[in-house]
Each structure stands twice: as C-alpha cells, then as structure tokens.
Chain A
Amino acid sequence: MDVERTPLPGIGLRHVFVTHRGRRLGVVSHRDGRRDLVVYRRDDPDSAAETLVLTPEEANGLAELLGAARIVERLAELHRQVEGLVSEQIPITAGSPYDGRSLGDTRTRARTGASVVAVVRDREVIASPRPDFVFHAGDVVVAVGTAEGTAAVATILTDG
C-alpha cells in the first residue's frame, strides 16, 4: 500500500492512497486535531466526492475501530481459512520449562508439524516470531496446525 503524503501549508498534512479496488481515499490532518476523511470520485480522482469532517475524538474512535479490532479479526480468519486447520492460544505459565528459553529450543515445528504464528505479550501482537525469540511467563503463544499438532504444542509448552 503506497501512501502519498502532501503538506498543506497553513492547514496540515494530507495522506492519500488507492484501495485494492481502485478507489482513492485520503485523510486531511488539520493542525488542531480535526481530521477530514476524503473519498474521491470514481470518474475523477482529482476531486473529492465526499468529505467527512471528524473531531479529534471521532478520529480516535475510528482509528480504534480500524486498528485494534483488526487483530482479533485476523486470528478468527485463520480458523476459517483452511478446513481442518486449528489455531490455539497457549499461555506460557510461570512454571513452564520454556519460560526464558527461545522458540527455536522448543523445536515445535519438527516435533508437531504445527507453527507458532504469533505471540501476544502485554496486549501487543508479535507476528511471526523468529527462532531466537525468547518466551516469558505471561506470553500467549498462537499456534496453527492440525488439532493434534496444536494440542502437542500446548503439551510441550506447559510440560516440556
């Protein structure tokens, strides 16, 4: 996604991008926190078809709707994508043998066939953790694979 950034002297900034379906969408950021959401005309990409004026609170609310909710949605999507594929969220407890050890040490992929696709730490999602990623107690590991595979990952992470 290419975002075109243009300064608007005396007003603020404008960001514009073209959606996958070919519509131009822009945000005009005013210095006082006001945001204009601009949808461009289908037949004339130079011209705004609709300009929605958002107060700072409304803009924040919209950003939250678009941002935070997307992560939950993406996890739910994984379930639906492939028949027979399961995603499981496995907490790393304080007594886990892998508390303080790396993802590579678990060798889950080789042992179970399931993959660790993300780790949720302090409400932040770390997507595609690398093998040298070190687990801490409190992390939630998201594993994707067959039902048996993900169950095996859960066993490894809790009991070794």
Chain B
Amino acid sequence: MHGSLLLVELGAVLLGLGLLGAVSVRFSISPIPLYLLAGLAFGQGGILPLGASDEFISAGAEIGVILLLFTLGLEYTAGELVGTLRTSAVPGLVDLVLNAAPGVAVALLLGWGPIAAVALGGITYVTSSGITAKVLGDLGWLGNRETPAVLSLLVFEDLTMAMYLPILTALLAGAGLLAGSVTLAISAATIGVILLVALRFGWAVERFVASPSDEVVLLKVLGLTVLVAGVAQHLQVSAAVGAFLVGIALSGPLAHTARELLSPLRDLFAAVFFVFFGLHTNPADLPPVFGIAALLAVAGIATKLATGWVAAARLGSAVTGRLRAGAALLPRGEFNIVIAGLAVTAGINPRLGPLAAAYVLILAVAGPLLARAAEPLARRLRRPPRSPAPAGPAAPS
C-alpha cells in the first residue's frame, strides 16, 4: 500500500512541476519561485500535505544541490576562475560588501545573533547566475559592452561561495574558533588541490572519465561527483563545494558532453530541491516576515544596481550599460535557497527559512521584470521628457 502511495505522490508532484514549468515558459519567468510555491502548498500547514514521499524528496533535494553546483562548476574553466580573480577583485569585493551588508544588518538588528547574520548576509549577497544568464540571453544582452563585467561578477560570487559555504557549514555545526579555522584550512587546502589538479592534470581526470559511450560517461561523472561531495561533507567542507570543484576540474569537450548528459538530471533534482525547501517552510510563517523580506528586497535591488554601476563603469560603459549591468544582477535564486537550506537544517532561527523564501520569491520574479525595464528607464534618464529628441534620420549604413 505504502509503495503505491509513494509512486502516486511522487508522480503527482513531478507532473505538477511540469505544469508549473510550462507556465514559467509561457510567461518567460524563472520556474524557481513557482517550485517554491508548490512546495509551500504541499508542505506542513499547506493545503495538501504530502507524507509518503518525504524521504525520497529529501534525498533528491540533496542530490539536487550537488548537481546544481556541479553544473555551475562545469560552466567555468580553471583558467577563467584564476583570470577573473585577477581582473575583477575590486568590483567583486564591492559586490560582496554592499550586498551582504543589508542581510547582516537586519539579522543583527532583529537580535538573531552573529551566525544567523552570516547566513542572511550570504542570502542577500548572491545573485542567481542561472536566472541572470537566462536574462542576458533572452534580452540579447550578451554582446553588450558591460556583459563581461556582469559575467565576471557571477564567477567571482561563485568562487566566494566556494569559500563561504565551508565557513557557514562550520559555524552552523557549532564549531568554535579553533575548530572553525581548522575546517577553513582544510577547505582552502582542498580547493587549492582541486584547482591545481584542474589546471595541471585536467587531462588525467578527462582520460579517466572519457568514454565513447554516453552511458559510461554519465555514470562515471555522476558517481565521481556524488562521491567527492560525500567525502567533502565528511570533512565538513560542504558537499556542494566538493561538487562545484569537480565541475571545475572537468573542462573541454568532456565538460560539454557532461553538461548535456547531466542537465536533465540537474533540472529534475533541482526542482525537487526547491520543492523540498518549500515543503519544510510553513506558509503560515510567511506573512509575519514578509515586511522584512520586502525591505531587504528593496535594499537588495539598490545595492545590486550600485554594484552593476561600479562594475560597468570600469569597462567604460555609459549610463545605459551601467543600469543594465545592475538590473541583470538583481535576480536571486538557487544559491540563496541553498544557504537558507543549510541554516534551516541546522535549526538556527525558525524565521530565517520563511524570510529567505519570501526574499527569493520577490526577487526571482521582480529581477527579470526589472531587467526588462532597464533600457526604457535609461532612455528616459538620458533624454528628459521636456525636450523630446528629434527622430534621427535613417541614414544608410
């Protein structure tokens, strides 16, 4: 009986996600907020609580995080990461300081304590590289002058995450200063070793994984990723970071194949992860934190716009480009939920989970919409309405 109930629940959840995905495609918005809403609806205190499939969904959610980070790592080569660190350190630090500040400040003002402040700072800091990349592609912004600045910031943020997640994991585990610094040293060493392997011995990893059969590549890559993630988890480095680094170690044609093979799995399990997070958030907890979330969202929009302005100005962009860079950086999504998920699992503060959910719900939807408004707004700024510019003659070129 139990088995059939599991299948029915699971099938219904996946089918529901598919329908929501269709809605998101139709209106070309990110599906992440819809998945979260679905989780909220079916979770504890929701309209139709799920029971039997909870265990499966929670295991699926863990794999979802691992695959999210792995495919993110695949996007970048080790050379790009090192190059970005060199060229984008200044805007990267501006990004970090400006955008973590609201979260840290709010957590401290609410008296949630320093560890919650570190978590909430991370939640307000990270841009969703997935949604932003989609916005850049959808709006045809890839060729624009400021785009390399935006992409470099995303790379920088992802690298920062590789340092931040182990620290957060250690803090959440209640580690003291000494144990915390040992963990940090271990994670820094691990990251260093994997970057070195990727830069110098990437061919060896590739020769190990490569195979003419897609099936073999899929199983080897998935196995290697989950295994490294598990070992990293055991060393208190955070499974997500381990997976991210495996992704970086793979490059070239193999990375391309791996991305094609694993993207469908990533989509499946990432959706499960967002549902899982929603499931474990009680919808009744949302309204009390909604005001704070809205306040943080407004602050987050302002700080990301400032970040984009600074980063694009360094590349010599004019007002339009600077606004576009900021607008592209607005969406928050997967990482923010990953951080909140870690904090919720550790039981840090019961209001942190709902707050993060509300924050991501607002910015995952508003971010891409505001990005669309960036160009008309910039045009308005450049030509004040009282002096309408004459329509330029259509000179042949």
Residues of A within 8 A of B (CB): 6-11, 14, 16, 21-23, 26, 28, 31-32, 36, 38, 40, 42-48, 50-51
Distance of A8 Cα from B145 Cα, bound (Å): 11
Residue of B nearest to A32 (CB): B256
CB distance A36 to B142 under 8 Å?
yes
Residue of A nearest to B88 (CB): A9
Q: How many residues of B contact A (CB 8 A)?
A: 29
CB distance B397 to A36 under 8 Å?
no
Distance of A109 Cα from B141 Cα, bound (Å): 55
Specify the main secondary structure of chain B where it touches its partner. helix
CB distance A45 to B145 under 8 Å?
yes
B283-322: which residues lie under 8 A (CB-CB) from chain A? 317-318, 320-321
1/0 per residue B138-180: CB within 8 Å of A? 0011111111100110110000000000000000000000000
CB distance A48 to B151 under 8 Å?
no
Distance of A48 Cα from B318 Cα, bound (Å): 14
CB distance B154 to A48 under 8 Å?
no
Distance of A44 Cα from B145 Cα, bound (Å): 10
CB distance A8 to B133 under 8 Å?
no
Contacts of B75 in A (CB 8 A): 10
Distance of A45 Cα from B75 Cα, bound (Å): 28
Among B151, B317, B324, find the residue whose CB has the most chain A CB atoms closer than 10 A: B151
Contacts of A6 in B (CB 8 A): 148
Does B127 sit at the interface, judged by CB under 8 A? no
CB distance A10 to B144 under 8 Å?
no
Contacts of A45 in B (CB 8 A): 145
CB distance A48 to B76 under 8 Å?
no
Contacts of A22 in B (CB 8 A): 397
Contacts of A28 in B (CB 8 A): 142-143
CB distance A46 to B317 under 8 Å?
yes
**Could you tell me the distance in whole angstroms from the C-beta of A144 to the nearest C-beta in chain B?**
32
Instruction: Please list 14 pairs of residues, one from A and one from B, whose beta carbons are closer than 8 Å in the complex, sorted by A's number.
Output: A8-B148, A8-B151, A9-B155, A10-B133, A10-B154, A14-B142, A14-B148, A42-B392, A46-B317, A46-B321, A47-B144, A47-B324, A47-B375, A48-B144
Question: What 6 pairs between A and B have smallest CB-CB spacing?
Answer: A38-B143, A51-B140, A46-B145, A10-B75, A46-B321, A48-B143
Contacts of A40 in B (CB 8 A): 143
CB distance A9 to B144 under 8 Å?
no
Residue of B nearest to A45 (CB): B145
Does B83 sit at the interface, judged by CB under 8 A? yes
**Could you tell me the distance in whole angstroms from the C-beta of A91 to the nearest C-beta in chain B?**
42
Residues of B within 8 A of A (CB): 75-76, 80, 83-84, 129, 133, 140-148, 151-152, 154-155, 256, 317-318, 320-321, 324, 375, 392, 397
CB distance A36 to B155 under 8 Å?
no
**Could you tell me the distance in whole angstroms from the C-beta of B40 to the nearest C-beta in chain A?**
31
The one of B142, B146, B151, B152 in contact with A46, judged by C-beta atoms closer than 8 angstroms, is B146
Among B83, B142, B375, find the residue whose CB has the most chain A CB atoms closer than 10 A: B142
CB distance B320 to A44 under 8 Å?
yes
Q: With A10-B80, A14-B143, A23-B397 in contact, do A46 and B318 touch (Cβ < 8 Å)?
A: yes
CB distance A10 to B256 under 8 Å?
no
Among B133, B140, B392, B397, find the residue whose CB has the most chain A CB atoms closer than 10 A: B140
Contacts of A10 in B (CB 8 A): 75-76, 80, 129, 133, 151, 154-155
Residue of B nearest to A22 (CB): B397
Residue of B nearest to A26 (CB): B143
Distance of A22 Cα from B82 Cα, bound (Å): 35
Distance of A46 Cα from B148 Cα, bound (Å): 12
CB distance B320 to A47 under 8 Å?
yes
Distance of A12 Cα from B80 Cα, bound (Å): 10
Q: With A10-B80, A42-B392, A42-B397 in contact, do A48 and B140 touch (Cβ < 8 Å)?
A: yes
Contacts of B145 in A (CB 8 A): 45-47
Distance of A82 Cα from B317 Cα, bound (Å): 46
